[in-house]
Amino acid sequence: MEALWSHIEKHLAPGNYEICTVDERADGLLFYGADEVEHLTNESTPYPTFTKRETVVEEAQEFIRTDESGFFLAIEDREAAEAIDTLKKCGVKCRMVHLPHHRAMLSPCLTSPGNNMPNDDGT
Protein backbone atom coordinates (compact mmCIF):
# COMPACT_ATOMS: atom_id res chain seq x y z
CA MET A 1 0.00 0.00 0.00
CA GLU A 2 2.86 2.40 0.71
CA ALA A 3 4.14 2.09 -2.86
CA LEU A 4 0.63 2.60 -4.24
CA TRP A 5 0.12 5.70 -2.07
CA SER A 6 3.44 7.19 -3.24
CA HIS A 7 2.26 6.90 -6.86
CA ILE A 8 -1.21 8.29 -6.10
CA GLU A 9 0.25 11.21 -4.15
CA LYS A 10 2.28 12.33 -7.21
CA HIS A 11 -0.97 13.03 -9.09
CA LEU A 12 -2.81 14.97 -6.37
CA ALA A 13 -2.98 18.72 -6.02
CA PRO A 14 -2.82 20.05 -2.44
CA GLY A 15 -6.05 19.56 -0.49
CA ASN A 16 -8.26 16.83 0.89
CA TYR A 17 -9.47 14.02 -1.34
CA GLU A 18 -11.88 11.18 -0.88
CA ILE A 19 -10.51 7.98 -2.34
CA CYS A 20 -13.30 5.73 -3.60
CA THR A 21 -12.26 2.16 -4.28
CA VAL A 22 -14.35 0.28 -6.83
CA ASP A 23 -15.06 -3.35 -5.91
CA GLU A 24 -11.60 -3.66 -4.32
CA ARG A 25 -10.63 -2.54 -0.83
CA ALA A 26 -7.54 -0.41 -0.11
CA ASP A 27 -7.89 0.37 3.61
CA GLY A 28 -4.11 0.47 4.04
CA LEU A 29 -3.96 3.83 2.24
CA LEU A 30 -5.24 5.46 5.44
CA PHE A 31 -1.94 4.61 7.14
CA TYR A 32 0.09 6.47 4.52
CA GLY A 33 -1.76 9.79 4.29
CA ALA A 34 -5.15 9.30 2.66
CA ASP A 35 -7.81 11.39 4.41
CA GLU A 36 -10.77 9.18 3.60
CA VAL A 37 -11.25 5.85 1.84
CA GLU A 38 -14.75 4.75 0.85
CA HIS A 39 -15.61 1.42 -0.72
CA LEU A 40 -17.99 1.50 -3.68
CA THR A 41 -19.45 -1.02 -6.06
CA ASN A 42 -20.14 -0.86 -9.75
CA GLU A 43 -22.68 -3.68 -9.50
CA SER A 44 -26.26 -2.72 -10.32
CA THR A 45 -27.53 -5.20 -7.69
CA PRO A 46 -24.76 -5.40 -5.07
CA TYR A 47 -24.51 -8.19 -2.55
CA PRO A 48 -26.62 -7.19 0.48
CA THR A 49 -24.64 -6.06 3.52
CA PHE A 50 -25.47 -4.53 6.89
CA THR A 51 -24.68 -1.06 5.56
CA LYS A 52 -25.48 -0.21 1.95
CA ARG A 53 -22.48 0.32 -0.30
CA GLU A 54 -22.87 3.25 -2.66
CA THR A 55 -22.39 2.86 -6.38
CA VAL A 56 -20.01 4.81 -8.60
CA VAL A 57 -22.91 6.90 -9.92
CA GLU A 58 -24.21 7.69 -6.42
CA GLU A 59 -20.76 8.83 -5.33
CA ALA A 60 -20.31 11.02 -8.42
CA GLN A 61 -23.67 12.62 -7.60
CA GLU A 62 -22.44 13.24 -4.05
CA PHE A 63 -19.24 14.85 -5.37
CA ILE A 64 -21.41 17.28 -7.34
CA ARG A 65 -23.91 18.02 -4.53
CA THR A 66 -21.27 18.63 -1.88
CA ASP A 67 -18.56 20.09 -4.15
CA GLU A 68 -16.13 17.43 -2.89
CA SER A 69 -12.81 16.48 -4.40
CA GLY A 70 -12.24 12.81 -4.92
CA PHE A 71 -11.29 10.08 -7.31
CA PHE A 72 -11.97 6.43 -7.99
CA LEU A 73 -9.33 3.75 -7.55
CA ALA A 74 -9.98 0.61 -9.55
CA ILE A 75 -8.33 -2.49 -10.95
CA GLU A 76 -7.10 -1.25 -14.31
CA ASP A 77 -8.58 -3.76 -16.72
CA ARG A 78 -11.95 -4.75 -15.23
CA GLU A 79 -13.40 -2.23 -12.84
CA ALA A 80 -11.79 0.84 -14.40
CA ALA A 81 -13.33 0.16 -17.80
CA GLU A 82 -16.74 -0.54 -16.25
CA ALA A 83 -16.59 2.58 -14.05
CA ILE A 84 -15.58 4.80 -16.98
CA ASP A 85 -18.42 3.36 -19.06
CA THR A 86 -20.94 3.87 -16.23
CA LEU A 87 -19.88 7.49 -15.70
CA LYS A 88 -19.81 8.19 -19.43
CA LYS A 89 -23.42 7.00 -19.73
CA CYS A 90 -24.28 9.60 -17.07
CA GLY A 91 -22.44 12.39 -18.88
CA VAL A 92 -19.33 12.46 -16.68
CA LYS A 93 -15.91 12.27 -18.29
CA CYS A 94 -12.89 10.89 -16.43
CA ARG A 95 -9.16 11.31 -16.68
CA MET A 96 -7.35 8.02 -16.10
CA VAL A 97 -3.89 7.71 -14.59
CA HIS A 98 -2.22 4.32 -14.85
CA LEU A 99 -0.69 3.17 -11.56
CA PRO A 100 1.50 0.18 -10.68
CA HIS A 101 0.03 -3.19 -9.71
CA HIS A 102 -2.72 -2.97 -12.37
CA ARG A 103 -4.50 -0.08 -10.66
CA ALA A 104 -5.99 3.01 -12.24
CA MET A 105 -6.88 6.36 -10.72
CA LEU A 106 -10.03 7.83 -12.29
CA SER A 107 -10.53 11.54 -11.75
CA PRO A 108 -14.04 12.63 -12.75
CA CYS A 109 -14.38 15.98 -14.50
CA LEU A 110 -17.13 17.50 -12.36
CA THR A 111 -17.46 21.17 -13.10
CA SER A 112 -21.01 22.01 -12.09
CA PRO A 113 -24.35 20.50 -11.14
CA GLY A 114 -25.60 21.39 -14.64
CA ASN A 115 -24.17 18.24 -16.19
CA ASN A 116 -26.30 15.27 -17.22
CA MET A 117 -26.08 13.23 -14.02
CA PRO A 118 -29.42 11.61 -13.14
CA ASN A 119 -31.09 12.38 -9.83
CA ASP A 120 -31.06 9.85 -6.99
CA ASP A 121 -34.38 8.48 -8.25
CA GLY A 122 -32.87 7.81 -11.71
CA THR A 123 -34.55 10.74 -13.54
Spell out the residues 6+ positions from residue 4 whose beta carbon is closer than 8 angstroms to its own.
26, 29, 99, 100, 101, 103
Spell out the residues 6+ positions from residue 11 whose beta carbon is closer than 8 angstroms to its own.
97, 105, 107
pLDDT band at 111 (very low <50, low <70, confident <90, very high): low
Residue boundaries of the structural domains of the chain: 2-108
DSSP label at 48? P
Q: Is the pLDDT of residue 121 over 50?
A: no
The whole model's pTM is what? 0.81
Q: Is the pLDDT of residue 97 over 90?
A: yes
pLDDT band at 117 (very low <50, low <70, confident <90, very high): very low
Helix (H), strand (E) at residue 46: none
User: Which pLDDT tens digit goes with each residue over 19-78?
Assistant: 999 988 898 999 998 889 999 988 776 666 767 788 898 898 888 888 888 899 999 888
